[in-house]
């Protein structure tokens, strides 16, 4: 089995440094452009099926990459982004940075000290649900010879990759930084064991924009 795990393209809230989480924000024009470039770069990769977070930005990313391929694309709630509760919608950086953003930004700068507000998810809960998805997928014998696209989000993608690396330490969650929009990580699965082959592959021409909290 080969997995191609991709973070969705850019949204207006990405650009504005607004916290998204479970809020269902679509791709913006630039995000669609990045995704189309990614689709072009992946056009010769044979794909048998796809899984997507049900949130619009991930589903649209998958649909653009898979355009013209008559293969199933399945919604998978376990790979949607972590929920941030009342923090969703606040500006967490830049000139419009809002009160409360310092507490939220601990999620990136000091993850072990981040306290999810009421109605939000913890990093441990994110690890648990994404881990269950990965375990079920990698152990499925019917998919052992398949190439699979997985369209997801920055934190959800990081949780899956950390688990593959064997590191689910909350304090070290962001050791490898936030995956750029439309970056693709390739994973091979043999006998139920997953390993990262290539990480953070970029197919578009633009300079990668690093996500920062300040």
Determine the average pLDDT of the residues in 49-76: 98
Using the predicted structure, report yes or no on whether residue 103 has a pLDDT greater than 70.
Answer: yes
Domain boundaries, the chain: 2-82+122-201
Using the predicted structure, report yes or no on whether residue 212 has a pLDDT greater than 60.
Answer: no
d(CA 115, CA 45): 41
pLDDT of residue 95: 79
Using the predicted structure, report yes or no on whether residue 40 has a pLDDT greater than 90.
Answer: yes
- Distance set, CA 93 to CA 90, 99, 103 (Å): 9, 10, 12
Using the predicted structure, report yes or no on whether residue 209 has a pLDDT greater than 60.
Answer: no
From 114-118, 173-177, 204-208, the region with the lowest mean pLDDT: 204-208
Using the predicted structure, report yes or no on whether residue 213 has a pLDDT greater than 50.
Answer: no
Q: Provide the CATH number for the domain formed by 2-82+122-201 in this structure.
A: 3.40.50.1240
pLDDT of residue 151: 98
pLDDT of residue 207: 66
- Distance set, CA 168 to CA 5, 112, 151, 152 (Å): 18, 12, 21, 18
d(CA 206, CA 192): 36
Would you place residue 89 in the very low, low, confident or very high pLDDT band (cuts 50, 70, 90)?
very high
Residue in 37, 60, 81, 88 annotated catalytic = 81
Determine the average pLDDT of the residues in 44-70: 98
pLDDT digits (tens, 9 = 90+) for 137-191: 999 999 999 999 999 999 999 999 999 999 999 999 999 888 999 999 999 999 9
Q: Which residue has the tokens 């000290």?
A: 113
Active site residue 81: yes
């Amino acid at each position: 089995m080969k997995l191609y795990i991709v973070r969705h393209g850019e949204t207006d809230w990405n650009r504005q440094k607004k916290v998204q989480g479970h809020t269902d924000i679509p791709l913006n024009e630039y995000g669609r452009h990045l995704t189309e470039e990614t689709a072009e770069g992946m056009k010769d990769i044979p794909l048998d099926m796809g899984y997507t977070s049900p949130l619009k930005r991930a589903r649209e990313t998958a649909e653009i990459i898979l355009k013209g391929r008559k293969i199933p694309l399945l919604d998978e709630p376990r790979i949607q982004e972590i929920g941030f509760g009342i923090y969703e919608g606040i500006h967490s950086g830049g000139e419009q940075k809002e009160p409360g953003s310092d507490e939220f930004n601990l999620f990136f700068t000091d993850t072990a000290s981040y306290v999810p507000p009421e109605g939000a998810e913890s990093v441990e809960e994110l690890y648990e649900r994404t881990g269950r998805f990965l375990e079920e997928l990698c152990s499925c014998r019917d998919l052992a010879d398949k190439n699979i696209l997985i369209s997801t989000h920055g934190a959800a993608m990081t949780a899956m990759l950390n688990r593959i690396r064997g590191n689910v330490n909350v304090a070290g969650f962001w050791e490898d930084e936030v995956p750029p929009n439309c970056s693709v990580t390739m994973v091979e699965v043999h006998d139920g064991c997953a390993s990262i082959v290539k990480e953070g592959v970029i197919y578009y021409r633009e300079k990668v924009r690093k996500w920062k909290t300040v």
